[in-house]
């Protein structure tokens, strides 16, 4: 029924648009008439938005509150003999049984009270939906008639539409902000629940990570330890390897493209770098597991180094490949933003291209390049798919790149799949990890943006 209501809103808005436009056209057409302030289309749009938007909001609100209201009504209508002495949980169970029954899913034979309540619920739902449709239609027609009377030659429909549009844009940006706030709040909420079970100091400074605790009494599992240091150390190790791979390659690529490559080479290399940036990370994951990890293991075998099958080196190396385009394209921008006159000035002093690069262009572009590297680092720290496929699961505290380490994102994934319940420390730990990860990447991003901003001011 919500669908029909939305369709009705669209149709009536269109009707409103044509009504508004045609009545405005009548002013415009008359000979010797007053000069019309806005084009007829604006009058149409004015009526259309006032017909459409309030009705839309009404339907949304109605649809979101209808369920809860009907539930309460149904509960209240249950015979007192049935509800007496029942706990809220049991009432809830009864309610979902009624709802299931009302939508045609029957399990076993329901109690007669439930059966009756379900029938009532069905009929109320019907009434409510029709009422929504009727109320929305009435509202729209009333608004249409009222707004129609506002239309006059000097009516500033154009400005009104402008106001509505800017309001719409504010609303859209607020949606993004509210979503972010919502995500943070939910993270915080679950994390606080976790820190009630596990002290925050143990989480932040503990050196042992064994979250596989028993969910049911009959399970056999570890006692549980939630020290996040090894997990973060693993993340840092893999990210560091990624940056060690990506910074020189990305930076030298950018330098080559800016200073040495001619247009033909640039026109080939740049799109290829963009393709690299567009490869889904899961494909990088395949590459890490099937190609890089075996190669590293064999190479380690030849050199006589003990190499774990899912070494940090494999995951870090592939992650480094993934972030090369970030570093190269941001460094490229930063180097290009250095005014040409700097380069000319240096060359005219008799400096070679490489002297110009190392002594003038790189120092001038360094803040921008640093910003790019920090953005790439926060991307590497938050990267999930490659490490889920290529890194290990056991949290070892090591700096040996041949060893297997785990990362924050891998732990979050592994804790939230499979047999979970939302009040055990194992599941809640995922939120705490997510919160810390969020804070770290947010900090890196803020730092990077600050640096980039400061750098922009230098030449403008």
Partner 1 sequence: MAQAALAPRDAAPAVFQTVRTPDLHPRPTKVKADTVKVFYGQKQALHGVTIDIPEKAVTAFIGPSGCGKSTFLRCLNRMNDTIDGCRVEGEILLDNRDIYDPSLDVVELRARVGMVFQKPNPFPKSIFENVAYGPRIHGLARSKAELEEIVVASLQKASLFNEVKDRLHEPGTGLSGGQQQRLCIARTIAVSPDVILMDEPCSALDPIATAKVEELIDELRKNFTIVIVTHSMQQAARVSQRTAFFHLGTLVEEGPTDHVFTNPSERRTQDYITGRFG
- Residue 67 or 339: the one with the smaller Cβ distance to partner 1 is 339
- Residue 258 or 360: the one with the smaller Cβ distance to partner 1 is 360
Tokens of 349: 């002093």
Beta carbon of residue 274, minimum distance to partner 1 (angstroms, whole number): 23
- Residue 117 or 452: the one with the smaller Cβ distance to partner 1 is 452
Closest by CA position to 277, among listed 253, 302, 312, 241: 253
Which own/partner pairs from 157-163 qualify as long-range (CB within 8 Å, at least 24 positions apart)?
Answer: 157/20, 157/24, 157/37, 157/38, 157/42, 157/43, 157/45, 157/46, 158/37, 158/38, 158/39, 158/42, 159/38, 160/46, 161/42, 161/45, 161/46, 161/49
Beta carbon of residue 357, minimum distance to partner 1 (angstroms, whole number): 12
216: which DSSP letter? S
Beta carbon of residue 346, minimum distance to partner 1 (angstroms, whole number): 7
Beta carbon of residue 335, minimum distance to partner 1 (angstroms, whole number): 13
- Residue 352 or 450: the one with the smaller Cβ distance to partner 1 is 352
Beta carbon of residue 455, minimum distance to partner 1 (angstroms, whole number): 10
- Residue 297 or 343: the one with the smaller Cβ distance to partner 1 is 343
List CB contacts of 401: < 8 A, sequence separation 6 or more.
237, 241, 311, 312, 313, 316
Beta carbon of residue 411, minimum distance to partner 1 (angstroms, whole number): 44
Beta carbon of residue 327, minimum distance to partner 1 (angstroms, whole number): 22
- Residue 338 or 412: the one with the smaller Cβ distance to partner 1 is 338
Beta carbon of residue 344, minimum distance to partner 1 (angstroms, whole number): 7
> Given the rule CB under 8 A, which residues bind partner 1?
262-263, 339, 341-352, 355, 359-360, 363-364, 458
- Residue 283 or 349: the one with the smaller Cβ distance to partner 1 is 349
- Residue 198 or 357: the one with the smaller Cβ distance to partner 1 is 357
Closest by CA position to 123, among listed 161, 86, 77: 77
Q: Report yes or no: 214 and 220 within 8 Å, Cβ to Cβ.
A: yes
- Residue 79 or 363: the one with the smaller Cβ distance to partner 1 is 363
Beta carbon of residue 337, minimum distance to partner 1 (angstroms, whole number): 12
Beta carbon of residue 459, minimum distance to partner 1 (angstroms, whole number): 8
* Alpha-carbon dihedral sign for residues 132, 138, 142, 143: positive
Which own/partner pairs from 119-127 qualify as long-range (CB within 8 Å, at least 24 positions apart)?
Answer: 120/74, 120/77, 121/70, 121/74, 124/70, 124/73, 124/74, 125/66, 125/70
- What is each CA distance from 318 to 374, 380, 386, 450, in whole angstroms? 18, 11, 8, 29
> Phi, psi at residue 213, to the nearest 5°?
-95, 165
Tokens of 186: 């939910």
210: which DSSP letter? E
∠ CA 428-377-458 to the nearest 5 degrees? Answer: 130
- Residue 84 or 263: the one with the smaller Cβ distance to partner 1 is 263
DSSP assignments along 310-371, one per residue:
T-HHHHHHHHHHHHHHHHHHHHHHHHHHS-HHHHHHHHHTT--HHHHIIIIIHHHHHHHHHH
């Amino acid at each position: 029924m919500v669908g029909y209501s939305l369709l009705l809103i669209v149709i009536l808005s269109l009707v409103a648009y044509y009504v508004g436009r045609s009545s405005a056209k009548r002013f415009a057409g008359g000979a010797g008439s007053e000069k019309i302030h806005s084009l007829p289309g604006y009058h149409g749009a004015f009526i259309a938005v006032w017909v459409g938007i309030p009705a839309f909001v009404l339907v949304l609100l109605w649809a979101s509150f209808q369920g809860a209201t009907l539930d309460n009504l149904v509960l209240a209508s249950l015979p007192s003999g049935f509800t007496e002495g029942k706990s809220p949980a049991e009432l809830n169970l009864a309610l979902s049984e009624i709802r299931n029954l009302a939508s045609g899913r029957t399990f076993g034979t329901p109690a007669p009270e439930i059966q009756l309540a379900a029938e009532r619920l069905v009929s109320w739902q019907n009434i409510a939906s029709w009422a929504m449709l009727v109320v929305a239609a009435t509202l729209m027609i009333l608004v249409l008639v009222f707004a129609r009377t506002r239309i006059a030659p000097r009516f500033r429909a154009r400005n009104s539409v402008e106001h509505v549009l800017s309001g719409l844009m504010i609303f859209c940006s607020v949606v993004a902000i509210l979503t972010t706030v919502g995500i943070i709040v939910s993270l915080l909420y679950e994390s606080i629940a976790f820190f009630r079970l596990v002290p925050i100091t143990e989480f932040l400074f503990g050196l042992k990570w064994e979250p596989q605790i028993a969910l049911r009494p009959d399970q056999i599992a570890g006692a549980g330890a939630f020290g996040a240091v090894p997990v973060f150390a693993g993340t840092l190790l893999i990210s560091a390897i990624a940056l060690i791979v990506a910074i020189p390659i990305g930076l030298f690529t950018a330098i080559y493209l800016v200073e040495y490559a001619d247009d033909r080479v640039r026109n080939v290399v740049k799109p290829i770098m963009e393709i690299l940036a567009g490869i889904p990370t899961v494909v990088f994951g395949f590459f890490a597991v099937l190609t890089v990890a075996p190669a590293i293991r064999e190479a380690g075998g030849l050199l006589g180094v003990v190499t774990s099958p899912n070494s940090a080196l494999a995951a870090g190396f592939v992650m480094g490949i993934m972030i090369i385009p970030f570093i190269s394209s941001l460094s490229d921008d930063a180097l290009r933003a250095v005014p040409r006159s700097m380069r000319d000035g240096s060359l005219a002093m008799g400096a070679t291209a490489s002297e110009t690069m190392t002594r003038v262009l790189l120092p001038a572009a360094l803040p921008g390049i640093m910003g790019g590297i920090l953005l790439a680092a926060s991307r590497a720290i938050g990267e999930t798919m490659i490490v889920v496929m290529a890194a290990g699961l056991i949290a070892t505290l090591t700096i040996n790149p041949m060893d297997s380490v785990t990362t924050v994102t891998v732990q979050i994934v592994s804790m939230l799949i499979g047999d979970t319940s939302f009040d055990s420390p194992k599941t809640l730990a995922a939120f705490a990890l997510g919160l810390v990860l969020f804070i770290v990447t947010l900090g890196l991003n803020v730092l990077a943006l600050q640096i980039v901003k400061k750098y922009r001011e230098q030449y403008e």
